[in-house]
Amino acid sequence: MNKVKLLFRIFIFCILTVITQIGGLVYLLTLYIFRFLNDKVENKVVLAVLKLTSFIVLYLIATFIIVPPVASLFGRVPLPMFSSNHLKPLNRITCLLNRNYVKPDLKSAVLNASVKMNKKYPGTEVSYLDACFPFINKFPLIPHLSHNDGKKLDLAFFYIDKSSGQEGDESPSFIGYGICEEPRSGEVNTAEFCNDKGYLQYSFLKYIIPQNKKSDFKFDAERTRILVELLANEEAVSKIFIEPHLKQRLSLQSGKIRFHGCQAVRHDDHIHFQIK
């Protein structure tokens, strides 16, 4: 094997591992299949399709059949890929990438909150964003600093569709991050403070996530406030991060609600909470 091919394979392995945790291992397994296909298939287009298909099939088998029971041995369980007890992923790609694993206590806390939200606001479903990978404490979930032990989960804000005036479960951001509810005049501006201190990563998502849908949605302050309060009332929940100006605006009083620090990224586009 020449050096270029070896470096390419190492690169693919690293990228798949960083993004999905298990993808690199699946890729190594499919290399044996690739070797067999190289001997049997001469047409390069057909060969490429078969290689890609074999990887996808093995990856899906690993993700949905093998990983969940093995992850339980590490004390982690998957959040639902489809709506369950009024909890769902904002984007199902989160589940395909294995970024939806948490400790059972965290799952119970967020399910309790989502059921209570639906009782108070019929039809409401709570949308989750990134959680953690299924295996190994301290294995980083990039770009997050702390989502590495099954004890952290991000939730999407609630919004109102401006065209219909109806409460909904959609988000102006396709990943739930990067479209911020900016501080108003007279409110503390932590983003400006952190940027002035040199923490340039603090607002970086705002500049890479398309903002074209922001004008179609209105931040639903009432439902978002109630969701934060429900989470704060869960005994297992130890901390909730939301931008200080939103804590002020929403009149949130719980001592569990804290500032996350300038070393992180801004939290006026989502809710972060964690268990003890």
For the chain, domain boundaries: 3-73, 81-275
Q: How confident is the model at residue 224 (pLDDT cuts 50, 70, 90)?
A: very high
Please give the structure tokens belonging to residue 60: 């899906």
CB atoms within 10 A of CB 145: 14
Distance CA 252, CA 232 (A): 10
Average pLDDT value for residue range 99-111: 98
Please give the structure tokens belonging to residue 242: 């939301």
Please give the structure tokens belonging to residue 146: 């702390």
Mean pLDDT of the chain: 95
User: What is residue 1's predicted lDDT score, i.e. its pLDDT?
Assistant: 62
Report the CATH number of the 81-275 domain.
3.30.1380.10
User: What is residue 43's predicted lDDT score, i.e. its pLDDT?
Assistant: 84
Contacts of residue 120, defined as CB under 8 A and 6 or more positions apart, other chains included, come to: 226
